[in-house]
Amino acid sequence: MAGETIITVVGNLTSDPELRYTPAGAAVANFTIASTPRTYNRQTGQWEDGEALFLRASIWRDYAENVAETLKKGTRVIAQGRLKSRSYETKEGERRTSMEIELDEIGPALRYATAQVTRSQRTSGGNFGGQQGGNFGGNNF
């Protein structure tokens, strides 16, 4: 949709994804991604952590089920989606706004880890490759 803010964030999951289902049966997974910038201090010769950004994230349907099965607390991920602001009222009646990311894509970051990719056997809408062309070069992604 035009005008939406698309962001990419790299960080670690602060807890296991919480999987739930709407009354209509749609799966949704919610979790928080902590992204901490690191900078090199030339005076000390050390890498230093900056201030962490904690971003609440959600992902829907089959993707939510795959995320809940695959990603765990501490997993370093690369995530991309639409930045959304959500306004709410606290128990004390204070009005607050939080920033959240509604994910389009997420996967493990492979800088410090390896991953074994297994193609999901679920069959519902949203499998953009369908049965054709989904088997890239004979690999079972």
Q: What is the pTM of this model?
A: 0.77
pLDDT given at position 78: 98
> 68: which 2 tokens?
């809940």
| Token pair 């900078």: residue | 39
Name the 3-class secondary structure at 70. helix
pLDDT given at position 10: 97
Helices (H), the chain: 61-70
DSSP bridge pairs for 55: 33
User: Which DSSP category does 139 fall into?
Assistant: -
The Cβ of residue 20 has, within 10 Å, a number of other Cβ atoms equal to 11
Amino acid occupying residue 118: T
pLDDT given at position 31: 98
Give the burial class of 75: count Cβ atoms within 10 A of its Cβ; 0-12 exposed, 13-18 middle, 19 or more buried.
buried
pLDDT given at position 56: 97
Residues in the chain: 141
pLDDT given at position 122: 63
Residue ranges of the domains in the chain?
5-119
Please, what is the average pLDDT of the chain?
87
Please state the separation of Cα 106 from the chain's center in Å: 5
pLDDT given at position 120: 79
Radius of gyration for the alpha carbons in the chain, expressed in angstroms and rounded:
18
User: Which DSSP category does 136 fall into?
Assistant: G
**pLDDT for 114 beyond 50:** yes
- 3.30.750.24, 2.40.50.140, 3.40.50.720, 3.40.50.1820: CATH of 5-119: 2.40.50.140
pLDDT given at position 131: 38
**pLDDT for 52 beyond 50:** yes
- List pLDDT tens digits, range 64-86: 999 999 999 999 999 999 999 98
